[in-house]
Copies of this chain bind each other. A is one copy, B any other.
Amino acid sequence: VNPEISFSAVSEIARHMDAADPLAAYRDRFFAAEPELIYMDGNSLGRMPSAASEKLEHVLRYEWGERLIRSWGEEWYTLPQVLGDKIGALLGAAPGQMLVCDSTSINLYKLASAALRLNLGRRKIVTDRFNFPSDVYILQGIASQMGVGHRIELIDSRDGIHIEMDDLLGAIDEDTALVGLSHTVFKSGFLYDMEYVTRQAHRKGAFVLWDLSHSAGAVPAALDDWNVDFAVGCTYKYLNGGPGSPAFLYVRTDLQQQAESPIWGWFGEDSPFAFGLDYKPAPGVRRFLTGTPPILSMQALGSGLDLLEEAGIQEIRRKSIQLTQFMIDLFDAFLAPIGFELGSPREASRRGSHISIRHPQGYRINRALIDEMQVVPDFREPDNIRFGFAPLYTSFFDVVEAVRRTVLVVREERYSKYPPDRSPVT
Residues of A within 8 A of B (CB): 31, 33-34, 39, 41, 44-45, 47-48, 52-53, 56-57, 60-66, 68-73, 76-77, 102-106, 109, 129, 132-134, 136-138, 140-141, 144-145, 154, 234, 236, 242-247, 261-266, 269, 271-279, 290-298, 300, 370, 376, 378, 380-381, 422-426
Contact = CB atoms under 8 A, between A and B. Distances in A.
Contact of A33 (B65, B236, B242, B263): B65
Contact of A102 (B34, B56, B65, B106): B106
11 contacts: A41-B69, A45-B64, A45-B68, A69-B378, A76-B243, A103-B290, A132-B266, A133-B269, A133-B277, A141-B262, A274-B422
Contacts of A297: 294-297
A70 B426 CA distance: 8
Given A65-B48, A73-B425, A296-B297, A277 B129 contact: yes
B264 A138 contact: yes
Contact of A265 (B138, B144, B279): B138
Given A106-B106, A244-B295, A66 B34 contact: yes
Chain B CB within 10 A, most for which of A39, A45, A243, A298? A243
Nearest to A52: B60
A68 to B, nearest CB: 6
A272 B134 CA distance: 8
A27 to B, nearest CB: 14
Contact of A242 (B66, B278, B296): B296
A44 B426 CA distance: 38
Contact of A31 (B65, B137, B261): B65
A20 to B, nearest CB: 28
B294 A246 contact: yes
A103 B422 CA distance: 32
A291 to B, nearest CB: 3
Contact of A423 (B73, B234, B266, B370): B73
Given A274-B381, A275-B381, A291-B134, A243 B73 contact: no
A394 to B, nearest CB: 13
Chain B CB within 10 A, most for which of A71, A279, A292, A426? A292
Q: How many copies does the complex hold?
A: 2
A103 B48 contact: no
A265 B109 CA distance: 9
A186 to B, nearest CB: 9
Given A138-B264, A138-B265, A33 B66 contact: yes
Contacts of A60: 48, 52-53, 56
Given A47-B68, A129-B277, 14 more contacts: A31-B61, A45-B68, A52-B60, A64-B243, A73-B425, A76-B243, A103-B291, A105-B263, A133-B275, A137-B269, A141-B261, A141-B263, A141-B279, A294-B296
A114 to B, nearest CB: 12
A291 B104 contact: yes
A134 B266 contact: yes
Contact of A106 (B66, B72, B247, B290): B290
Contact of A137 (B44, B265, B295): B265
Contacts of A272: 133-134, 424
B77 A425 contact: yes
A47 B129 CA distance: 47
A402 B330 CA distance: 70
Given A44-B69, A275-B380, A264 B141 contact: yes
Given A68-B39, A262-B145, A274-B381, A296 B300 contact: yes
A140 to B, nearest CB: 5
A293 B102 CA distance: 9
